[in-house]
């Protein structure tokens, strides 16, 4: 695959990459098709990067263990070389976009909007990672030649090169180059260093070069404090907090002290989590907390006719037995309030059926519907929580305020699609709500709304027609 990353035949990138088109630069981040055997080498940024394409990925089933070990090492070096070439292509793409927008008279503050998302999509990555990819590429190509050389040679992996770049991010260009030379000028000194030692070494050099900048970065980091959840097996959840060091250690010490002094037979971990729950919610751990919880499940699951999993907004799939326990707890707790909202899914695709509104801003009910249908940001590869409910076709261009034209998006993706050259369209085919993104370089990406929980049984024609009629009274 790495060789395919270097291939750009027919796109004008073999001998003079600076002559490449923006479309060609985007394609080189993907995996082009075609037989590359015997192809030439690629020159990017004035350096020769690449291999002779001859049976690069053939595997000899009769090879010895020693030969297989050598092959694994060779492929690892190849991956690093591919990452270095990808960084050079990314930096060149950014330079060409800047030059094109400068020539077009785009104000400086608006240049480059949406480019990071394009880069991430080309790498089949979440758009939120685009700034990291772009920043790393520019740093390696323009400011850190020794780190780039170590990456090209396979001495550093892409991840370890990223760690070095991140630790130098708070430094001036001059200090960053000094860190680069001190840490990576001698590739032999990097051999055998793992992730933690590489990161620690870069951090130590950064602190020595500019201690004030490192302290300022730590002060700014406090502004990125937050809390997140992600699903865990067996009806559990991971709750993660990012907070200043003193606060985090203080919270953990308090929980640990409670576990050390409580002798009621509960495991230490359970004592700590129960204590956290009680101090945050103000309620005993055995009582459910009165919060709004969007729980989606089929009526057949609720009444025990099948064991299809449910789905909790902000968490994900939940086993049927856990779903029924949640509903039972809410019903039996006199202090809790539970409301029931009927949703209708398409008989074949399983997706929620659309709703419409004449308002420009999505009403609360319709916004909730879009959130339940999309579950996370609908941009391809993005798993961020939904922050905006927006029109695929803008209202100013006649786009309807409807479930079909509505999309759930995170803040970054919603802003990116408003940049010049981006278009988003939605389609509803056989009950499948599909969105199509087209970038300024005319690349197209798709995403489809996930099905909602429910049994996998086939419905009769009458049942299917009735479901659609209930959601769309005028469909008859």
Neighbouring residues of 78: CB distance < 8 A, sequence distance ≥ 6: 2, 3, 51, 56, 154
Q: What is the DSSP letter of 188?
A: G
Q: DSSP alpha helices (H): ranges in 104-172?
A: 115-122, 130-142, 145-152, 158-167
Tokens of 271: 């004592």
Q: How many CB atoms lie within 10 A of CB 193?
A: 16
Note the pLDDT of residue 251: 93
pLDDT computed for residue 370 by the predictor: 85
Angle between the N-to-C axes of helices 195-209 and 173-184, in degrees from 0 to 180, rounded to the nearest 10: 140
Handedness of CA 455, 456, 460, 461 (dihedral sign): positive
Q: What phi-psi label fits residue 46: left (phi over 0), alpha (psi between -120 and 50 degrees) or beta?
A: left
The pLDDT value recorded for residue 463 is: 53
Closest residue by Cα to residue 233 from 309, 317, 310, 320: 317
Residues 260, 244, 384, 443, CA torsion sign: negative
Burial (0-12, 13-18, 19+ Cβ within 10 Å), 115: buried
The C-alpha atoms of residue 417 and residue 439 are separated, in whole angstroms, by: 8
Q: What are the beta bridge partners of residue 337?
A: none
Give CA torsion, residues 26, 30, 36, 41, to 10 deg. Answer: 50
Q: Tens digit of pLDDT per residue, the chain (476 long)?
A: 333 333 433 333 333 445 555 555 555 454 444 444 444 444 444 444 444 444 677 788 899 999 999 999 999 999 999 999 999 999 999 999 999 999 999 898 888 889 999 999 999 999 989 999 999 999 999 999 999 999 999 999 999 999 999 999 999 999 999 999 999 999 999 999 999 999 999 999 999 999 888 888 877 777 778 888 877 777 788 889 988 888 889 999 999 999 888 878 889 899 999 999 888 888 888 776 555 566 777 777 776 777 777 777 667 777 777 777 777 776 666 666 666 565 556 656 565 554 444 455 677 778 888 888 888 899 999 888 888 888 888 877 888 888 888 889 988 888 888 888 899 998 887 778 889 989 999 899 998 888 766 666 555 555 555 555 554 555 44
Centroid of chain to Cα 351: 23
Question: Is the CB of residue 351 less than 8 Å from the CB of residue 432?
Answer: yes
pLDDT of residue 10: 31
Q: Are 380 and 460 in contact (CB under 8 A)?
A: no
């Amino acid at each position: 695959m790495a060789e395919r990353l270097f291939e750009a035949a027919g796109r004008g990138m073999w001998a003079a990459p600076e002559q490449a088109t923006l479309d060609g630069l985007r394609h080189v981040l993907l995996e082009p098709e075609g037989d590359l055997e015997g192809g030439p080498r690629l020159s990017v940024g004035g350096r020769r990067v690449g291999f002779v394409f001859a049976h690069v990925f053939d595997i000899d089933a009769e090879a010895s263990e020693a030969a297989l070990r050598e092959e694994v090492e060779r492929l690892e070096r190849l991956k690093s070389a591919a990452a270095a070439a990808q960084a050079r292509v990314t930096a060149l793409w950014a330079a060409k976009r800047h030059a094109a927008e400068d020539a077009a008279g785009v104000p400086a503050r608006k240049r480059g909007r949406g480019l990071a998302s394009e880069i991430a999509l080309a790498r089949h990555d979440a758009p939120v990672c685009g700034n990291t990819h772009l920043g790393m590429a520019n740093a390696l190509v323009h400011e850190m030649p020794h780190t780039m050389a170590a990456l090209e040679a396979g001495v550093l992996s892409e991840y370890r090169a990223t760690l070095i770049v991140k630790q130098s991010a708070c430094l001036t260009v001059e200090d960053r180059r000094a860190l680069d030379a001190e840490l990576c000028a001698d590739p032999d000194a990097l051999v055998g260093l793992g992730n933690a030692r590489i990161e620690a070494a870069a951090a130590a050099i950064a602190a020595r070069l500019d201690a004030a900048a490192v302290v300022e970065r730590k002060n700014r980091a406090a502004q990125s404090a937050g809390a997140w959840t992600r699903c865990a097996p067996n009806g559990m959840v991971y709750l993660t907090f990012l907070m200043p060091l003193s606060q985090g250690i203080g919270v953990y010490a308090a929980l640990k002290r409670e576990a050390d002094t409580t002798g009621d037979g509960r495991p230490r971990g359970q004592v700590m989590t129960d204590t956290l729950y009680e101090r945050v919610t103000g309620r005993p751990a055995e009582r459910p907390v009165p919060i709004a919880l969007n729980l989606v499940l089929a009526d057949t699951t609720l009444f025990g006719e099948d064991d299809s999993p449910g789905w909790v907004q902000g968490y994900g799939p939940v086993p049927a037995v856990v779903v029924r326990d949640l509903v039972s707890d809410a019903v039996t707790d006199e202090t809790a309030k539970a409301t029931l909202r009927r949703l209708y899914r398409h008989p074949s695709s399983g997706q929620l059926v659309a709703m419409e509104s004449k308002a420009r801003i999505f009403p609360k009910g319709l916004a909730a519907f879009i959130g339940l249908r999309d579950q996370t940001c609908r941009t391809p590869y993005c798993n961020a929580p939904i922050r905006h409910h927006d029109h695929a076709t803008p209202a100013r261009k006649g786009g309807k305020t409807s479930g079909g034209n509505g999309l759930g998006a995170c803040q970054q993706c919603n802003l990116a699609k408003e940049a010049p050259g981006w278009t988003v369209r939605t389609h509803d085919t056989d009950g499948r709500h599909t969105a199509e993104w087209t970038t300024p370089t005319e690349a197209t990406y798709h995403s489809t709304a996930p099905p909602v929980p429910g049994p996998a049984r086939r419905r009769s024609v009458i049942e299917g027609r009735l479901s659609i009629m209930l959601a769309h009274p005028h469909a008859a």
